[in-house]
Amino acid sequence: MDIQSWTFIIVGATFALYIGIAIWCRAGSTKEFYVAGGGVHPLTNGLATAADWMSAASFISMAGLISFMGYDGAVYLMGWTGGYVLLALLLAPYLRKFGKFTVPDFIGDRYYSNVARTVAVICAIIVSFTYVAGQMRGVGVVFARFLEVPINTGVFIGMGLVFFYAVLGGMKGITYTQVAQYCVLIFAFMVPAIFISIQLTGNIIPQMGFGGTIEDGSGMFLLDKLDQLHVELGFQEYTTGAKGRWDVAAITLALMMGTAGLPHVIVRFFTVPRVKDARISAGWALLFIAILYTTAPAISAFARTNLITTVSEKSYSDVPEWFSNWESTGLIAYEDKNKDGLIQYVADPAVNELTIDRDIMVLANPEIAQLPNWVIALVAAGGLAAALSTAAGLLLVISTSVSHDLIKKQLKPNISDKEELMWARAGAAVAVVVAGYFGINPPGFVAATVALAFGLAAASFFPAIVMGIFDKRMNKEGAIAGMVIGTLLMLFYMVKYKLQGFGGGMPEDWWFGISPEGFGSVAMVVNLVVSLVISRMSPAPPEEVQEMVESIRYPRGAGAAQDH
């Protein structure tokens, strides 16, 4: 069978599975909609958390980034992995013990202020929409190639599916759907990695192949070969970094703190019965995440090697089928500048004739390596699973922020459970439409867009959450001022250097040499300083709030998530 037939079969089967789970697990109460009833097993929650956290950026775009950036791309591995460890050890158990449904709920109660709650709702919505834009873009890229439809049509299809199981099932449906999506995405990620590792290096374990020798009789290490190819084409050596140290440190820090402040990941720890279960599920999630994250550098090196050897200096009239397939999507473009009919793929932009969208590397990798068609279709299903699982979690954050933290807690406190559930579903429906718009008009390729979301999370939530847990003296005035200033500063920098027509944009114009993807760390420090200074210049929190903060850190006595 051809690739498209296999794609229809595999993607169709996975979609049917997700829809079936959503129907089976549909939410009947606000507690089931918000936190899956609070009774999810730690292993199940670990699988769901891994799927929720490993988005289209992790599956589709991260390996593509590393393929093109080489050593510099490792900043995404370090930042995202380190951030998850930070979240699991530093924040998740304490937030779980606090026993709230959402991050804005924690901030509203901890800082004894509806203003703080509203600011947190706005921050959650901004972060989630920025993040979900990357997911919808990833869905569009997959559909564009494998179902041969325009990217925008692919986004609409993804919107419809997410709308169905997020609106119907809420957190309960999303949790069990994400378990299935993790199984699909990790299988889809590992199968081609193993195939290509055997092809190139003879190693069945991709991580070993990454550091192994090539099976061409030369005895040359894979990374040495890649360095040689890069130098010949005028690129920076694959294993040598070109980014400034400040920028690397800033991006790593922004990704770490942003991960620890992501509301859609934090809420996953509210779905387990006890604080102990939150710690256990965090450990399981880290194991499941590590499987993909330790494989990504190997896939990057395999894809980059195969890409260069397949197209560089080859006649355009003789390009392989995979090249033509992706060229038809507009994600690969060839311009014969010297009219010799050969593809010049070099570092010099004046000479280079090939433009490649980084987001296609993982998806095109099996085709480049000439793997069986079913493997190529499986990767498409995995990319969709990664994007949809995270998109659903983000949309739930948006809908619960509106229904629970805005309407229930502030505008209509006497609303019934049934009415609140209706508002939650309506919020999810509106969020799907807005997410689709951002998917069609994203501010960059998938991983860059997602990196901006992490920067926003770091600039807004991280200091408020950490100080809310570990500083009894932190008050509402400090937290509100810090969140507002940190978020506005990050948004200003994003607009100035990421949106066309606002000037700047070039690395030589960046403040302190820090890219927009890393500026969240600067905005976070500003947030922290502002919070601390203002909190010390204004009245201390009420005594009962300080006692509550003290009790969060006690090791025992936590109950289920509750709405009070």
For residues 108, 118, 57 and 514, what is the CA-based torsion angle, rounded to 10 degrees? -100
Which pLDDT tens digit goes with each residue over 357-386? 887 888 888 888 888 888 888 888 888 887
Instruction: Decide which of 401 and 539 is more confident.
Output: 539
239-264: pLDDT as tens digits: 887 777 778 888 888 888 877 777 77
Q: Which amino acid is at 499?
A: L
pLDDT of residue 499: 60
What SS3 state is found at 53?
A: helix
Measured CA to CA in angstroms, residue 468 lies from 106, 300, 549 at distances of 9, 40, 7
- Please report the pLDDT score of residue 165 as a whole number: 65
Q: Is the pLDDT of residue 563 over 60?
A: no
> Residues 431-489: pLDDT tens digits?
788 878 877 776 554 455 666 777 888 888 888 888 988 888 899 899 999 989 998 99
Residue 532: band (very low, low, confident or very high) from pLDDT cuts 50, 70, 90: very high
- Pick the closest to residue 467 from 254, 257, 264 (CA basis): 257
CA 141, CA 163: separation in Å to the nearest integer? 19
Give the pLDDT of residue 503.
Answer: 45
d(CA 559, CA 118): 26
How many angstroms separate the Cα of 159 from the Cα of each of 85, 204, 513?
A: 31, 37, 38
Q: Which residue has the higher pLDDT, 283 or 32?
A: 283
| Residue 559 confidence (pLDDT) | 46
What is the SS3 string spanning 169-215?
Answer: HHHHHHHHHHHHHHHHHHHHHHHHHHHHHHHHHCCCCHHHHHCCECC
Q: CA-CA distance, 410 to 417, in Å (whole number)?
A: 15
Top pLDDT among 166 and 520 is at 520
| Contacts within 8 Å (CB) and 24+ apart, 543-550 | 545/110, 545/112, 546/472, 546/473, 548/110, 549/110, 549/468, 549/469, 549/471, 549/472, 550/472
Burial of 247 (0-12, 13-18, 19+ CB in 10 A): buried
Neighbours of 474 (CB within 10 A): 28
Q: Find which of 16-20, 137-141, 211-215, 276-280 is predicted with most confidence, using mean pLDDT.
A: 211-215
Determine whether 183 is exposed, middle or buried from the number of CB atoms within 10 Å of its CB (0-12, 13-18, 19+). middle
Q: Rounded mean pLDDT of 142-170?
A: 74
Break the chain into its structural domains and give their ranges: 3-441+458-552
129 or 539: which leads in pLDDT: 539
Mean per-residue pLDDT for 498-515? 63
What is the pLDDT, as a whole number, of residue 196?
92
Residue with the larger pLDDT of the pair 538 and 456: 538
Superfamily of domain 3-441+458-552: Sodium/glucose cotransporter (1.20.1730.10)
pLDDT at position 501 is 42
Place of tokens 């009219």: 339
Q: Please report the pLDDT score of residue 267 as a whole number.
A: 75
Assess whether pLDDT exceeds 70 at residue 38. Answer: no
Cβ pair 493, 526 in contact under 8 A: no
The CA distance from 561 to 473, in Å, is 25
Of 286, 300, 244, give the one whose Cα is nearest residue 82. Answer: 286
Torsion angle of alpha carbons 90, 95, 97, 100, nearest 10°?
-170
Q: Each residue of 107-135: pLDDT tens digit? A: 888 888 888 888 888 878 877 777 777 77
**At residue 1, does pLDDT exceed 90?**
no
Tell me which DSSP letter residue 103 carries.
H
What's the token pair of residue 269? Answer: 């720890």
pLDDT at 413 (0 to 100): 75
Bridge partners of 326, per DSSP, are none
d(CA 490, CA 492): 5
- pLDDT 10s digits, 88-102: 777 777 777 776 667
